[in-house]
Chain A
């Protein structure tokens, strides 16, 4: 038997229900693993150990009464921009260093109803702005496969906590790839659901028209179990979609004969592709073909403009959303200022890190008088064309397959002074946010340096079930998800 913290949600759930293990032992094992490896990896910002143990005891009591819910007793961890009542929620920012939410986000309520044990809060790029988890006021998170490298971002803490067995599963958020990209760099499964599939109530807003909460997990089955728990309509989020939730874990081993997989031509001609990523992609597509799927070439003609459109729209929405951090209602206040306006200016200058300030400047510029039509208006029109590209492509295929990232994880510090290069590394992921379609990352290989590589599967709106079915059968036919990083030297 695996060590307890090394189990998948699916395995632990079976043993908990049979009373072969207790949630207390499982949670203790997870907390011990955090003690061992978190000092070297910095995935957690806050560990609420006592609280977690109390939740675990309650879970064990529920199990002994025969009252089990889908995630009863399962230790999970949460990206630190999802509000947890009574547990501080920092967004990786100094400005919210001491913010303790007075309420639970909708997804946290749902996880608690499902019986989950919330272990703590996970590191991230400040306000989810970044692709490396280097832009956190709480220090960088390190990749367990190579601690000199970034884990991806912005949900880097979530991916690392899952990959290094510091929780059984995690929630992250994805605005331009922030679940899929760290999942790929850390060798775990990550899913960005369709926009509106999961309630954003209690998710601290970055770019409201793009943000979506989703799971990161050790395998596809666990990913589906977590999506089951958090998906669904919520009247408190006016953009959540009133649509029934299927059993996402209802897939089984099957061939993929009824499915057509599209390969975007434009993605193949993207510059800067690492040869190891190209090779892993080719092999993954061949494997999916072996499973019976037909493979066709499709076109997403406006791909070359996705990064530009995204880096107008996301900072514009962010500049507006982040106006609320003004030192009045919550968060840090600079007390030196004598006037209200200086208090705002100093609080925000000291509270936000450089990447957040840079994006606020870009967004404010793009929305300012005389520039709105040229930037935000134009980008929103290009967004329509990108969405149409996907609609047309999905007339010819059920699922689009692509790499998640052009390269494996880069070295910490490598792109620190070159924000544009970092933005360009999001090329394969951010179109899904612009179009609102779901995207999943599943491990599909390793580079020559032993770094994980991810396969991205995208589908039409609300086709999460199809993505999970393809990913599950791909996973069953490969062994990448069984490989673990060597954590012996990490402490």
Chain B
């Protein structure tokens, strides 16, 4: 299987990773090798087999809707790279950055 550099760049965009040319070249080869190996799964007949998403059969874990103590806002914001007025600050989202 071959993965084109365009495909790697598309997936990197989906994953919000900015890859340089060297990384794109290296990953396209390595990811292709790994996906080739993964193709061996197609040797297994899985007709009618239910997929496993959870190793232990549990039903939904529900709890009573009761108020409880949560983390203090200042404690939560303490690790934020940029903060102000009790909120996380992020770069501009809408409009021309210039």
Contact = CB atoms under 8 A, between A and B. Distances in A.
25 contacts: A98-B79, A100-B78, A195-B55, A210-B55, A239-B54, A308-B37, A308-B38, A311-B37, A329-B79, A357-B23, A360-B17, A361-B11, A361-B27, A362-B35, A365-B31, A365-B35, A377-B51, A378-B42, A379-B41, A380-B52, A381-B51, A385-B46, A387-B55, A419-B34, A420-B33
Interface of A is mostly: helix
Contacts of A362: 31, 34-35
Contact of B14 (A103, A311, A364): A364
Contacts of A311: 34, 37-38
Contact of A378 (B35, B46, B54, B63): B46
A436 B56 contact: yes
B18 A345 contact: yes
B82 A333 contact: yes
Contacts of A360: 15, 17
A382 B16 contact: no
Interface of A: 98-100, 102-103, 194-196, 209-210, 235, 238-239, 241, 302, 304-305, 307-309, 311-312, 319, 323, 326-333, 335, 337-346, 348-349, 352, 354, 357-358, 360-362, 364-365, 368, 375, 377-385, 387, 419-420, 423, 433-437, 461
A368 B11 contact: yes
Contacts of B4: none
A341 B13 CA distance: 10
A381 B46 contact: yes
A377 B23 CA distance: 28
Given A343-B90, A360-B17, A378-B42, A384 B51 contact: yes
B51 A309 contact: no
Interface residues of B, number: 56
Interface string B55-79: 1101001010000000110011011
A20 B7 CA distance: 66
Query: Which of B14, B18, B93 has most A Cβ within 10 Å?
Result: B18
Contact of A305 (B14, B44, B71, B90): B44
B51 A383 contact: yes
Nearest 5 CB-CB pairs, A to B?
Answer: A436-B55, A380-B51, A330-B79, A333-B81, A345-B18
Interface of B is mostly: loop
Given A335-B81, A365-B31, 4 more contacts: A196-B56, A209-B54, A241-B56, A311-B37
Nearest to B7: A365
B97 interface: yes
Given A339-B97, A368-B11, A382-B44, A358 B27 contact: yes
A436 B61 CA distance: 18
Interface string B6-38: 011001111111111001001100110111011
Interface of B: 3, 7-8, 11-20, 23, 26-27, 30-31, 33-35, 37-44, 46, 49-56, 58, 61, 63, 71-72, 75-76, 78-82, 88, 90-93, 97
A461 B56 CA distance: 8
A435 B55 CA distance: 6
Contacts of A326: 16
B44 A338 contact: no
A358 B31 contact: yes
A102 B17 contact: no
A361 B80 CA distance: 26
Contacts of A420: 30, 33-34, 37
